[in-house]
A and B are shown apart, each in its own frame.
Chain A
Amino acid sequence: MTEPRSPIDDAVRAAGAVVGEHAGVTAVTDYGDPEAEIAASRRLGLADLSPLARVGFRGPGAREWLAARGVELPDEPNRARVQPDGSIAIARSWTEALVLGALRGADSVCDRLEAGAADGHRVRAYSLPRFDGMFWFALTGASAVDCLAKLCGVDMRESAFPVGSVAQTSLARLNAVIVRVDLGDMPVFHLLGDSASAEYAWASLLDAMQEFDGRPVGLRALHALAREFE
């Protein structure tokens, strides 16, 4: 059996990605120049976080079932809340949740939730495997809002879309979930969509990033920035 791969594995390797293990995850660590990627992340960077864990739950009992396992969902739909372990709990509706594993790999919360998922049926909380079905990218940096404005009809400026906001909308004509959870003072938008369209989304984003001098960045740069803001 081969290791789980990102749906854009071929595309990032063709762009010079170094794939390796970093902080417990096998993912793109860098594109050959981690130092430049830190600066690029602050300007406009695009990272493929697809190898990181994520899982969804739906059903009338999903909220309570997750709460009993220490995952605190926001009260309102279309909001995200960062958990103490760094994972992100997203309320997609009144009865559906999406949990994104912590950036710093070695995540256990998604594995733990998935392992115990059968128990949720008792209270009508049903797991939705999201690892294979959804790509997960992070668009970072000062120009991220302007870049998203080219691809998406929802106002992503901080006044209208502050940290913790979620939009389930059309991104480059794809259905996508957009989540703003900054790293310190650096804007970060998590983008998730159908993995079958991942290569198209990746290429569309890189194309839209050109005029802002954006570039793909690896996990090593994001981890360095995360440490900086701790």
Chain B
Amino acid sequence: MKIMPCPLNGPRPIQEFTCGGEVVATPNPDRADAETWADYLFLHHNAAGIVREWWYHVPTSFWFIADRNTVTDEIVRTFLPRELFRPDAQRDQP
């Protein structure tokens, strides 16, 4: 069984989790052109190596972030979103 270390619940079977996709900066809605939006919405980087992803623990409805190696499927580190985002933070500028 593959184990995911959840920052809230500790080590749990991977079946309790859903992957929410790569962590990417949201374009500025006032300035982004159509191509930037399309890239943000539809295109994945699909990189080989360590990527940063959103993960969701289903029983607690809890979102967190994991650094995962897509080549070896090793989970390098998991942490709370507040390490990257402040609740009142402005959206990242493109």
Contact = CB atoms under 8 A, between A and B. Distances in A.
A108 interface: no
A177 B62 CA distance: 14
Interface residues of A, number: 13
Interface string B50-65: 0000000111101000
Interface class of chain B by DSSP: mixed
A175 B59 contact: yes
Contacts of A154: 12
Interface in B38-77: 57-60, 62
A168 B59 contact: yes
B30 to A, nearest CB: 29
B59 A77 contact: no
B13 A77 contact: no
B59 A170 contact: yes
A93 B59 contact: no
B28 interface: no
A153 B8 contact: no
Nearest to A96: B60
A92 interface: yes
A92 B60 contact: yes
Contacts of B15: 170
Nearest to A173: B15
Interface string A159-172: 00000000111100
Contact of B62 (A93, A153, A170): A93
B64 to A, nearest CB: 11
B9 interface: yes
A99 interface: no
A127 interface: no
Interface string B1-13: 1000000111011
B75 to A, nearest CB: 17
A153 B12 contact: yes
A169 B8 contact: no
A171 to B, nearest CB: 9
Interface of A: 77-78, 92-93, 153-154, 167-170, 175-177
The 3 closest A-B pairs by CB, nearest first: A175-B59, A168-B60, A168-B59
Given A93-B8, A153-B12, A170-B13, 14 more contacts: A77-B8, A78-B8, A78-B9, A78-B10, A92-B60, A153-B1, A153-B16, A154-B12, A167-B9, A168-B9, A168-B57, A168-B60, A169-B59, A177-B59
